[in-house]
Amino acid sequence: MTKPVRFRGVLRLAAAALSVAMVVVLVQAMRRDGPAALDAWRAARVQWSWVAFSMVCAFAGHAIYVLGWRRLLADSGVLGSFWRLARIFLVSNLGRYLPGGKAWQMAIVGLMSAEQGLPATMVAGSSLFQGIVGVGVGAIVLFAAGGATIGLPVAWLVLPVMGIVALLSAPRIIRSAPRVQAALEHRVPGITSITAATMWALIWTSAASWIMWGVALWALANGLLAESTASVSACIAAWTGSFLAGLIAVVSPAGLGAREGVMQAVLKQAGMNATDVLVLVVVARAWITVLDVVPAAIVLVLRGRSVVGVMAPSPRPAIPTTD
């Protein structure tokens, strides 16, 4: 067994152990706080205006992310409309709900790109590259938004700044190392066309997407709870940290267990009581699942109808007859 294969095996085992640990913690929390949370849910009066606002923020986060993807592809010479890329992006989110979700997402992106006449390899590679940048930006957002929640000194905020500088410098660093550039070009075609301006676009769109989803969680808390004590920054940290944990737990569909465990820990650290936290964590899981599945299902239904329309035989012209 080669070292890279062995290393990947160790990472998968670690991710599996993390997923199991998070699920155990979540089950224990539900056993301990579940009855009180259920009573709180029954007594709650859902404010649907806040819930609707949370959905608007969530889809705004998606839209901003797709704008960054479109800019990245345009710089690589691939011109795709916003709505075409948005449809691919929405359907690819279904891949999260399978073990090894990122691989399934890339497969969906490649398949739908090929169907729409786009270069599948380049589109899938750009999606993967943007995802990697997004994870780095997410760590920066988590550090900046969650600093106060977890009690980090203000001086430590220099690390997110250094992270942004490193990302902006990445294109120049890649070009200065031909071997690294060749290896990346093999996996992500078109990466050599990425400039500092492109990286900045990816940074701000990724950061804005993380922030909008955090605001969406905050709005959801205000819609569910009689008095939410979590700040916007705490919700941004809770959402970002939970999503990143779900990415690490690659064997868990959509980060199940890992995301809930981290979100629960961050919100408790932010001062929310255990009952409110459990209500928000459980409802947030159902909420994000609906936001992932329903738009993707609508896209697939409309896509199926358009395919049927294209494949339907056109009526034959009438043959004139002579009297």
What pTM was estimated for this model as a whole? 0.78
Residue linked to tokens 């905020």: 157
Residue 316 counted as domain residue: no
Say if 222 falls within a structural domain.
yes
For position 68, what pLDDT does the model report?
94
Residue 84 belongs to a domain: yes
Q: CB count, 10 Å around CB of 163?
A: 18
How many CA atoms lie less than 13 Å away from 175 in the CB half-sphere?
Answer: 10
CA gyration radius, the chain: 22
Number of domains in the chain: 1
**Structural domain span for residue 193:** 16-302
| Nearest alpha carbon to residue 246 among 191, 181, 302, 292 | 292
In the chain, which stretches have pLDDT less than 50?
Answer: 7, 11, 15, 18-19, 22, 25-26, 307-318, 322-323
Q: Would residue 266 count as lying in a domain?
A: yes
Q: What angle do CA 294, 300, 302 make, to 5 degrees?
A: 105
Q: Is 170 among the domain residues? A: yes
